[in-house]
Amino acid sequence: MKRIGLLTSGGDAPGMNAAIRAVVRTAYTKGIETVGILRGYEGLIEDDMITLTRESVGDIIQNGGTILKTARSERFKSYFGQDKAIENLNKHNIDALVVCGGDGSFRGACDLSKKGVLVMGVPCTIDNDQGYTDYTIGFDTAVNTVLDAVSKIRDTASSHDRTTIVEVMGRECGDIALYAGLTGGADYILIPEVPVDTGAVIEKVKEGVKRNKNHCIIIKAEGVDISTADLCDVVADGTGQEVRSVVLAYLQRGGSPSAKDRMLASLTGSRAVELIDQDSSSRAIGITGNEIADISIEEAVSIKRQVNLELLSLIDNLSK
Amino acid sequence: MKRIGLLTSGGDAPGMNAAIRAVVRTAYTKGIETVGILRGYEGLIEDDMITLTRESVGDIIQNGGTILKTARSERFKSYFGQDKAIENLNKHNIDALVVCGGDGSFRGACDLSKKGVLVMGVPCTIDNDQGYTDYTIGFDTAVNTVLDAVSKIRDTASSHDRTTIVEVMGRECGDIALYAGLTGGADYILIPEVPVDTGAVIEKVKEGVKRNKNHCIIIKAEGVDISTADLCDVVADGTGQEVRSVVLAYLQRGGSPSAKDRMLASLTGSRAVELIDQDSSSRAIGITGNEIADISIEEAVSIKRQVNLELLSLIDNLSK
Amino acid sequence: MKRIGLLTSGGDAPGMNAAIRAVVRTAYTKGIETVGILRGYEGLIEDDMITLTRESVGDIIQNGGTILKTARSERFKSYFGQDKAIENLNKHNIDALVVCGGDGSFRGACDLSKKGVLVMGVPCTIDNDQGYTDYTIGFDTAVNTVLDAVSKIRDTASSHDRTTIVEVMGRECGDIALYAGLTGGADYILIPEVPVDTGAVIEKVKEGVKRNKNHCIIIKAEGVDISTADLCDVVADGTGQEVRSVVLAYLQRGGSPSAKDRMLASLTGSRAVELIDQDSSSRAIGITGNEIADISIEEAVSIKRQVNLELLSLIDNLSK
Amino acid sequence: MKRIGLLTSGGDAPGMNAAIRAVVRTAYTKGIETVGILRGYEGLIEDDMITLTRESVGDIIQNGGTILKTARSERFKSYFGQDKAIENLNKHNIDALVVCGGDGSFRGACDLSKKGVLVMGVPCTIDNDQGYTDYTIGFDTAVNTVLDAVSKIRDTASSHDRTTIVEVMGRECGDIALYAGLTGGADYILIPEVPVDTGAVIEKVKEGVKRNKNHCIIIKAEGVDISTADLCDVVADGTGQEVRSVVLAYLQRGGSPSAKDRMLASLTGSRAVELIDQDSSSRAIGITGNEIADISIEEAVSIKRQVNLELLSLIDNLSK
């Protein structure tokens, strides 16, 4: 009987539990055992493992966070850490490792793969910054969480005729700002992929004022090259309007996963086990168009996410 | 200057307002005027129209329902109704008509197209029953609404060791049941596309009881060939368990649209206007894979939705 | 060291877990042990008990349902059942029993009290039908759940110019309908405490139509002396309007408890243990004005809930 | 026929629209006209008024913010401002003014009252800092909004074994922190009414770690005498744990009002008009126990809110 190791790594993302459930239950139907590794690569190094049965993943599909806990592991970046990890995998007769995480976690998985471990990557990060897949697990929930916040902020902004800057997550990838900006009806968005143009922001706010639209919502990704506090000042100075900011921070990571994220988690988690069952080599699972697809995990980490410029110009048109 | 007529028709769907906003604002940027037609084809026959400015569609992207109101029109199926409609379009110098609705509404649009009216179809229905597009506007919101309800129902079901049957919308297409079943962690689903097998339902419930899993969630589409009340009785008799049902009904139609539905509405609504601007022939807009696509509206209505059997077997595996 | 038995009984109510947490943690700080009894009086008869530690009630305050499960027990109404219950309480050296439930559960508690068991009643029922307390735990959450549903239903009702009848829980007490009606902006409500006047309903709908208010929300408690289906027919016939209905059913029982319900659960659960610690006699805990109060449990079950007629007339005035 | 002026002032609060509806509709049933004054005292000074009909307040009870907009007015604090305000009230033959707002707005109302204007105060502020009433409109919604955020933050905190500090609103009154702390299951709360004891915070976190409870939620009101950033550092240094913070800010002001807030708004708004109809003197309306009550508005502003110390000790007991 095969044995799979399963871990969640990096920042938590809504849908990780749905992916865990899919891996464990699919493994069960194929007669494969699943060992849960706690706190990502940290638990792998420290041999902190639990048995996962089909019952132990019941009633978790709707929960945010991860029952396996997660961590970022500095030690795992060293030879020592990786050797210890492999030693522990062997000790438990684990044939393959499923890694649920983002870019950094996949790089760690690559390292293991190069050393002969069969690894499957399931893309879990709210940032949507993995270039090989159209969407990552957690992204849709995060965008909906931002929309919910924007809707509340809009009540206050429009009652007070105020411009509000909402800072969302995204250090290198502006997708949360881009999607939430378009669907939240934001007046302007700032993302790391596009150079900051504070003049354009000021112009946009002034244009609204001219039309008696005295409240304005600006969404800014955290990775943008101006601090939110500075942007507030610049916009206030340039427009004479009252400007306030809200930093959504860790709010965006939690919450019950959306239908879309649970679906993606179920499909990719399940596919990871099928690939292991079919004696595949190490792969990263993702979604392309409407299809679940997989590519070599080494290739996966080499593909940089491209910003969707069409959406950017659509925001401009639709916020008119 | 071109003039577009815009109407929403059939059952309302969350995202219709986002589509209206996208049409009006895109038209504005292209120098096209938009005339809003109230209550679908009824308002077209009765010449019940309003002017839509870019301001008039502000702050509506987040709202369920439709500011243009909607109706089903029996009169429009007659020659008289359609002639009257065309007369009114001409009277207002309307060059093209954008129809936001489902299958029935698109058939009406086809009839107009055959009589020489340029029509664009934007797929708005929670049922996801339009075969030419992967998703329709409103479907994702409806599935998330069902998930929210299932989550509440699960509290009671697990506190009482009870089997609960949740009836969701879907007369001919079981997609709401299918997607909500998979993502809601349902134990069993019944959809119109698959013959009813009450024996299998009973077996599933008994299997859970054997494993001390005394609560069970069954999701059933309304179009399934057994009434929910009868199914309750059959399952109660066959298992000896307490069985209750909830009919979600019109709850599923309302609510603030999800990010995914607002995105789809923004993209398809915008594309509809671009096609008109490019002097296209009558088209139905949709999404295939991750791409906004359009096909002849006549062809669109001829494509029957196929059920995704893979999802069905995945539910079976993951509910183990 | 004292030992408390704790059970939840009758229909589940959001906030039961918050009450359980409050009982266990307050007991802990007083050096009292808590034994959890599963499935209400059923578990008491069957000696189905678990130890509850302060850790075992962590992270449950936000969850609907009850970790102790609940049931209605026919057996407990018999001498045999009650004797067996007392036998099991003695066997486990339980000094006092905390019963979280509604009217029926409190009657059972009274029976035990008369036979010498020290019992404390914590009012948990969404129906708000316990006359000795201003509010019961679960009621506020249920009303907010109904409001959320009404908000979704309103989207569809106003898009379709339709009258919608929303059936809410409440067999003998119309408080859910009353509070949700007033706060949901319903046009008319029907409650069991007031004789049905279908003529008045029809009048109200017609009056709205006269003012071009073509959608109408009517909230009806389940215990009202006309079926929802019949009321639909009567209103449709009498007004010529399209009338639809939604039965919210078990949806109202689940969900994360509101702040108010968690507060009430924390205060009353905590007080129950304090009274035991102070060697009080059997009491029912409740809230009067803003004060946590307690009265003899026998007296508590004898006080019939009075309908708040002022709220009823306020609905009439505010729906004008 | 009497004429009422109605304004909302200060920070917006969920339920202001419900209060507006209650005032206008109650006035309607009594044959009183309502004039809406925009942007609080600013609009009163600038003579910026609209007529409010019963129709114009339809479908607003569920909306956050205020349709009348709100502002803080520096000018109104001057003799000039107040004289101009009274001039405009006379110009429009306004017999009485209803002010929906918090403490600062009530002080302005007092000034007008002393100059002979009949004013009624309806307590609208999320801060619950008005001492003469048990609750203010918006407070319950704000606490529920914080609970929702805490629930999301808990997902991440527990997945990462992390201590999180949640900063909530409350400059001088810690009620949001107090209520959300108790009902959100926070481990520790800091409020302006109690001197900061960082040693106690550190002790609490360490105590949890000792019991393997590696995540911890601390709720801190903004008015507490240590910045959130500093508190993070102090706790991290003192415990060796990872500590993060989230500042909820304007999120807490928006959103659909809860049932409790809509009820309080409906009752107090309605009472304000009744008092005017009965030729009362200037009053502040509030809730004491379960009763709507009113006192002289001068007295109302002189009563300082007292912190509920019992709740504080309850948090300590229940977080054990």
pLDDT in tens, A261-297: 999 999 999 999 999 999 999 999 999 998 999 999 9
- For residue D91, what are the CA distances in angstroms to A254, D41, D88? 54, 16, 5
Q: What distance in Å separates the CA atoms of residue A276 and residue D105, rounded to the nearest whole number?
A: 67
- A214 vs A220: which has the higher pLDDT: A220
Average pLDDT over residues A237-257: 95
CATH architecture, domain D140-254: 3-Layer(aba) Sandwich (3.40)
Average pLDDT over residues A116-140: 97
Residues recorded for chain C:
320
pLDDT higher than threshold 90 for residue C216: yes
| Chain centre to alpha carbon of residue B82 | 24
pLDDT higher than threshold 80 for residue C1: no
Q: In what order do the strands lie in the sheet with C291-296?
A: C49-52, C33-37, C3-8, C96-101, C118-123, C283-288, C291-296
- For residue A12, what are the CA distances in angstroms to A9, A66, C236? 7, 7, 52
Residues of D in contact with C184 (CB under 8 A): 61-62
Q: Measuring CA to CA, which residue among B297, B258, B242 is closest to residue B96?
A: B297
Amino acid A296: pLDDT:
98
Q: What distance in Å separates the CA atoms of residue B103 and residue B124, rounded to the nearest whole number?
A: 9
Q: Measuring CA to CA, which residue among B274, B265, B263 is closest to residue B96?
A: B274
pLDDT in tens, B3-21: 999 999 999 999 999 999 9
Residues of A in contact with B258 (CB under 8 A): 144, 258, 260
Cross-strand partners of B3: B33
Tokens of A41: 């690569």
Q: What distance in Å separates the CA atoms of residue A111 and residue A182, rounded to the nearest whole number?
A: 38
pTM above 0.95, yes or no: yes
Are A67 and A5 contacting, i.e. CB atoms less than 8 angstroms apart? Answer: no
- Active site (annotated) includes residue B129: no
Torsion of CA C233, C234, C237, C240, to 10 degrees: -90
B319: exposed, middle or buried (C-beta count within 10 Å: 0-12, 13-18, 19+)? buried
The closest CB to that of B26, out of A184, A267, A317, belongs to A317
Q: What are phi and psi of B209, to 5 degrees?
A: -60, -40
Residues recorded for chain B:
320
> Which amino acid makes up residue A246?
V
Are A197 and A231 contacting, i.e. CB atoms less than 8 angstroms apart? Answer: no
pLDDT higher than threshold 90 for residue A213: no
Torsion of CA C82, C88, C90, C91, to 10 degrees: 160
Are C70 and C40 contacting, i.e. CB atoms less than 8 angstroms apart? Answer: yes
pLDDT in tens, C28-49: 999 999 999 999 999 999 999 9
One fold for C3-138+257-302 and C140-254: yes
Q: Which residues are CB-contacts of D1 (< 8 A; sequence separation ≥ 6)?
A: D31, D32, D33
Q: What distance in Å separates the CA atoms of residue A179 and residue A139, rounded to the nearest whole number?
A: 10
Amino acid C215: pLDDT:
85
Kindly state the helix (H) or strand (E) to which residue C204 belongs, with its residue range: helix C198-210
Rounded to a whole number, what is the distance in Å from the CA of B169 to chain A's nearest CA?
16
D242: exposed, middle or buried (C-beta count within 10 Å: 0-12, 13-18, 19+)? middle
Classify B300 as helix, strand or coil. Answer: helix
> Which amino acid makes up residue A310?
E
Catalytic residues of D: 127
Rounded to a whole number, what is the distance in Å from the CA of C198 to chain B's nearest CA?
23
What's the mean per-residue pLDDT of chain D?
Answer: 96
Residues of B in contact with A314 (CB under 8 A): 266-267, 270
Residues of A in contact with D155 (CB under 8 A): 12, 14, 63-65, 253-255
Q: What distance in Å separates the CA atoms of residue A197 and residue A220, rounded to the nearest whole number?
A: 12
Residues recorded for chain A:
320
Q: What distance in Å separates the CA atoms of residue A174 and residue C26, rounded to the nearest whole number?
A: 48
Q: What distance in Å separates the CA atoms of residue A277 and residue C209, rounded to the nearest whole number?
A: 65
Amino acid A87: pLDDT:
97
Classify B204 as helix, strand or coil. Answer: helix
pLDDT in tens, D199-215: 999 999 999 999 888 78
The residue annotated as part of the active site, out of B127, B175, B187, B294, is B127
Q: What distance in Å separates the CA atoms of residue D6 and residue D41, rounded to the nearest whole number?
A: 10
Cβ within 8 Å, pair C152-B255: yes
pLDDT higher than threshold 80 for residue D1: no
Cβ within 8 Å, pair A184-B61: yes
D276: exposed, middle or buried (C-beta count within 10 Å: 0-12, 13-18, 19+)? buried
Classify C140 as helix, strand or coil. Answer: helix
Average pLDDT over residues D247-273: 97
Residues of A in contact with D152 (CB under 8 A): 64, 145, 250-251, 253-255
Residues recorded for chain D:
320
Lowest mean pLDDT segment, chosen from A187-201, B204-218, C186-200, D102-116: B204-218
Q: Percent of chain C beyond pLDDT 90? A: 96
> Which amino acid makes up residue C306?
Q
Cross-strand partners of B296: B283
- B244 vs B290: which has the higher pLDDT: B244
Average pLDDT over residues D18-23: 98
The residue annotated as part of the active site, out of A12, A127, A140, A261, is A127
Interface of C with B (CB under 8 A): 8, 11-12, 14, 16, 39, 63-66, 69-71, 145, 149, 151-161, 164, 244-247, 249-251, 253-255
Rounded to a whole number, what is the distance in Å from the CA of C165 to chain B's nearest CA?
11
Classify B285 as helix, strand or coil. Answer: strand
DSSP string, chain A: --EEEEEE-SS--TTHHHHHHHHHHHHHHTT-EEEEETTTHHHHHHT-EEEE-TGGGTT-TT-SS-TT-----SGGGSHHHHHHHHHHHHHTT--EEEEEE-HHHHHHHHHHHHTT-EEEEEEB-TT---TTSS--BTHHHHHHHHHHHHHHHHHHHHHHT-EEEEEE--SS--HHHHHHHHHTT-SEEE-TTS---HHHHHHHHHHHHHTT---EEEEEETTSSS-HHHHHHHHHHHH---EEEEE-GGGGG-SPPPHHHHHHHHHHHHHHHHHHHTT--SEEEEEETTEEEEEEHHHHHHPPPPP-HHHHHHHHHHT-
pLDDT higher than threshold 90 for residue B204: yes
Interface of B with C (CB under 8 A): 8, 11-12, 14, 16, 39, 63-66, 69-71, 145, 149, 151-161, 164, 244-247, 249-251, 253-255
CATH architecture, domain B140-253: 3-Layer(aba) Sandwich (3.40)
The closest CB to that of C266, out of D183, D256, D260, belongs to D183
Amino acid D141: pLDDT:
98
Cβ within 8 Å, pair D64-A246: no
pLDDT in tens, D145-202: 999 999 999 999 999 999 999 999 999 999 999 999 999 999 999 999 999 999 999 9
The closest CB to that of C183, out of D143, D184, D259, belongs to D259
Average pLDDT over residues B275-283: 97
Q: What are phi and psi of C262, to 5 degrees?
A: -65, -40
Cβ within 8 Å, pair D26-C267: no
The closest CB to that of A259, out of B18, B29, B143, belongs to B143
CB atoms under 10 Å from CB of B80, counted, come to: 11
Confidence of residue B215 (pLDDT cuts 50, 70, 90): confident
Amino acid B212: pLDDT:
85
Confidence of residue D290 (pLDDT cuts 50, 70, 90): confident
Q: What distance in Å separates the CA atoms of residue C237 and residue C219, rounded to the nearest whole number?
A: 18
- To the nearest 10 degrees (0 to 180), the angle between helices B79-91 and B103-114 is 70
- For residue D221, what are the CA distances in angstroms to A97, A107, B258, D162, D189? 44, 41, 32, 20, 8
Q: What distance in Å separates the CA atoms of residue D24 and residue D266, rounded to the nearest whole number?
A: 11
Angle (nearest 5°) at CA D31 between D30 and D35: 105
Which CATH number, 1.20.1600.10, 3.40.50.450, 3.40.640.10, 3.30.930.10, labels domain A3-138+257-302? 3.40.50.450
Amino acid C290: pLDDT:
87
Torsion of CA B285, B287, B288, B293, to 10 degrees: 40
Average pLDDT over residues C242-266: 96
Confidence of residue C164 (pLDDT cuts 50, 70, 90): very high
B273: exposed, middle or buried (C-beta count within 10 Å: 0-12, 13-18, 19+)? buried
Q: Measuring CA to CA, which residue among A66, A236, A153, B138 is closest to residue D145?
A: A153
Are C206 and C163 contacting, i.e. CB atoms less than 8 angstroms apart? Answer: no
The closest CB to that of B247, out of C71, C156, C247, belongs to C247
Classify D148 as helix, strand or coil. Answer: helix
Q: Tell me: domain A141-253, CATH 3.40.50.460, correct?
A: yes
Amino acid D214: pLDDT:
77
Which sequence spans correspond to the domains of chain A?
Answer: 3-138+257-302, 141-253
Kindly state the helix (H) or strand (E) to which residue D153 belongs, with its residue range: helix D139-160
pLDDT in tens, A250-261: 999 999 999 999
Interface of D with A (CB under 8 A): 8, 11-12, 14, 16, 39, 63-66, 69-71, 145, 149, 151-156, 158-161, 164, 244-247, 249-251, 253-255
pLDDT higher than threshold 80 for residue B141: yes
